[in-house]
Amino acid sequence: MVELTRRDRQRAATVAEIKTAARKLLVEGGAPSVGLRAVARELGLSAPALYRYFGSHEDLISALIADLYDELTDALISLRDGDPDADLGDKLFLIAGGLRDWALAHPAEFGLLFGAPVPNPDADDHELTPGHLAAMRFAAVFKELVAQIYHHQPFPHPDEESLGPELLAQLRRKSEFFDGMPAGAVYLSLTYWTRLYGLICMEVFGQLHWAFEDAGAYFQAQLFEIGEALGLDCPVPE
């Protein structure tokens, strides 16, 4: 039984207020605009007051990152489950397109999530932050869907001999995480994931507009390729 005093509720409300203010500043002026003092100013507080709620400026940013991951994940999930007539392939196209749309609509947030180096949690001096957990929940959306597609109708994948022993060993260790998919299918899943990620990264970070004034058609073509490789019947790009 959780007993929430009034102060606890007020505290939670203030934390939420701080994060929404930080989010607002992030949207308006990008990552550098979300400073501790600026956030405090936004809600009429003095800067040191925020230290009652977050241990440091970095902690605030980390909390913001975790929230953004959650928001993005929820958006993709509701996209995935929104249309009852959508089959597995439709769902994949929906969340892939949804990820791109979110990234283009929220470039500052996307840059914060994916454009900054992530500390390796395997290293001894770092532990799993809420941001890491939220990122894994995000990645799981894709992973689960691909695994469902595979178990519904296995798509062709390279056999284990062709992968090379070192890569094979690492893929085998991830097989369980991918709901028991064989190493070759895990390899393909990771390949498609990195392709989508790289594509969206390049577009959002402006590394692509020397080639395309509108990368939408290119993205659709790439998605189509991936869908074909996964054995899905894709809508022909018009």
- The site for its own copies (CB under 8 A) is made up of 107, 111, 114-120, 122, 136, 139, 163-164, 166-167, 170, 174, 187, 190-191, 194-195, 197-199, 201-202, 204-214, 217-218, 220-222, 225, 237-238
**Structural contact between residues 143 and 178, judged by C-beta atoms closer than 8 angstroms:** yes
**The only residue of 28, 29, 56, 74 in contact with DNA, by rule CB under 7 A:** 56
**DSSP string for 24-57:** HHHHHH-GGG--HHHHHHHTT--GGGGGGT-SSH
Residue number, 57 or 195, with CB nearest to DNA: 57
Q: Per the structure block, which two tokens stand in for 104?
A: 């283009």
- Report the nearest approach of its own copies to the CB of residue 8 (Å): 34
**The only residue of 14, 20, 62, 129 in contact with DNA, by rule CB under 7 A:** 14
**The only residue of 1, 2, 7, 125 in contact with DNA, by rule CB under 7 A:** 7
CA 226 to chain centre: 19
52 part of the interface to DNA, by CB under 7 A: yes
Q: If DSSP codes are grouped into helix, strand and coil, which group holds residue 127?
A: coil
Q: Per the structure block, which two tokens stand in for 109?
A: 């947030």
Residue number, 45 or 99, with CB nearest to DNA: 45
d(CA 124, CA 122): 6
Residue number, 50 or 226, with CB nearest to DNA: 50
**Terminal alpha carbon distance of the chain:** 56
Residue number, 41 or 137, with CB nearest to DNA: 41
**The only residue of 48, 115, 198, 237 in contact with DNA, by rule CB under 7 A:** 48
User: Could you tell me which of 190, 172, 191, 179 has the C-alpha nearest to residue 150?
Assistant: 179
In the block, residue with structure tokens 């995480």: 177
The site for DNA (CB under 7 A) is made up of 5-7, 10-11, 14, 35-38, 41, 44-49, 51-53, 56-58
